[in-house]
Amino acid sequence: MVTWQILIILSVICYSVSVLLQRILVTEKGSDPVAYASFSQLLTGLMIGIFGYLFTSMKYPDFKPLILNFLLMIVLYALGNIFVFKALKKTEASKFSVIFSSRAIIAVLAFSLLMKETLTVSQWIGTLLILSAAVIVSLETKKIKFSFKEIYALLAAMFYGFAVVNDRFLLRHFDVFPYSFLGFVLPALSILAFYSGRIKNMKVFLVKERFVRMATLSLFYAASIILFFYALQITENSSQVISLNSIGVVVTVIFAILFLNERKRIIWKIVGSLLGLLGLLLVK
């Protein structure tokens, strides 16, 4: 029997591979962040939908009793992505990663308060160690200063944190594939409605070589989300899933060292990785 722990490990690996591919794509000329994110989400959603319709039942539940939570899902992910765009314009990438990792704490607190799915003392310590590891491996300098403009990153973390709690509720009624399909496509369409002028910038991703790379990225990201949602669906404690999933930042840094030769601050990255491993053991 496949456990939620195995699903999360596989999800983290797929997510880390997708982030490495994402780094390559967004550094290419002509990449508009809003167009990139919208195109990526639509492509990922279509991949999930096609696979779902070919190999699963893709049954949808009665939307009437779920309509408020379903609309909330669209709003939370759309706003979360919009604030990610705004944050990345005003905040250094390393600083954004540190702030955005707080979404795990927000989600765990929300699960504890709203769904009574809390952590033990040792698991809380493990969660804090994992998040500390994420901070250590993400920072580019020894000193980091925060200002009011970082509020966008904090808002993005807040919306994503609450979105996962809402996902947990909806996944009690939805199958994973139809929910994931709608969860990607509808927020992406909402963002494009808000940033309608950016649609024309999506054409750069239709160039053959770039489209192939984008499709590969979307394939890994789709796999990571499907595995994460299955873990969230079958677990008895969602807080543990969120905590373990936070190790993805550390795994991404390790992959970047191995495959992209990113050796800057390698000692601190190794220290952070070991700290994350200790936290992983405590949460598990």
Residue 178: DSSP 8-state = H
> Rounded to the nearest 5°, which phi and psi values hold at 265?
55, 40
Q: Cα separation of 31 and 205, whole Å?
A: 8
pLDDT digits (tens, 9 = 90+) for 144-154: 565 666 788 88
pLDDT digits (tens, 9 = 90+) for 20-60: 887 666 555 556 778 888 898 999 999 999 999 999 989 99
Q: Cα separation of 49 and 179, whole Å?
A: 10
Q: Which of 213, 19, 8 is nearest to 100 (CA)?
A: 19
Query: Which amino acid is present at 102?
Result: S
Q: Burial-class residue 28 by CB neighbours within 10 Å (0-12, 13-18, 19+).
A: exposed
pLDDT digits (tens, 9 = 90+) for 163-222: 999 999 999 999 999 999 999 999 999 999 888 888 888 888 888 888 998 899 899 999
The 10 Å CB-count burial string (b at 16+, else e) for 205-220 is beeeeeeebbeebbbb
> Cβ(227)–Cβ(14) under 8 Å?
yes
Sorted by where each begins, the domain ranges of the chain are: 4-283
Q: Is 233 helix (H, G, I), strand (E, B) or coil?
A: helix
Q: What are the structure tokens assigned to 282, written together?
A: 């405590």
Q: Which of 77, 76, 11 is nearest to 244 (CA)?
A: 11
Q: Cα separation of 77 and 267, whole Å?
A: 36
pLDDT digits (tens, 9 = 90+) for 228-274: 999 999 998 898 889 888 888 788 778 877 777 777 777 777 777 77
In Å, the largest CA–CA distance within the chain is: 54
pLDDT band with cut points at 50, 70 and 90 for residue 284: low
pLDDT digits (tens, 9 = 90+) for 85-112: 777 777 666 667 777 788 888 888 888 8
- The beta strand positions in the chain, using DSSP E, are none
For the segment 7-20, the average pLDDT, to the nearest whole number, is 90
**pLDDT of res. 30:** 54
**pLDDT of res. 269:** 75
Q: Cα separation of 193 and 208, whole Å?
A: 26
Q: Cα separation of 229 and 97, whole Å?
A: 22
For the segment 52-70, the average pLDDT, to the nearest whole number, is 93
Please indicate whether residue 225 or residue 21 has the higher confidence score (pLDDT).
225
Q: Which of 209, 199, 252 is nearest to 42 (CA)?
A: 199
pLDDT digits (tens, 9 = 90+) for 125-146: 888 888 888 777 766 655 556 5
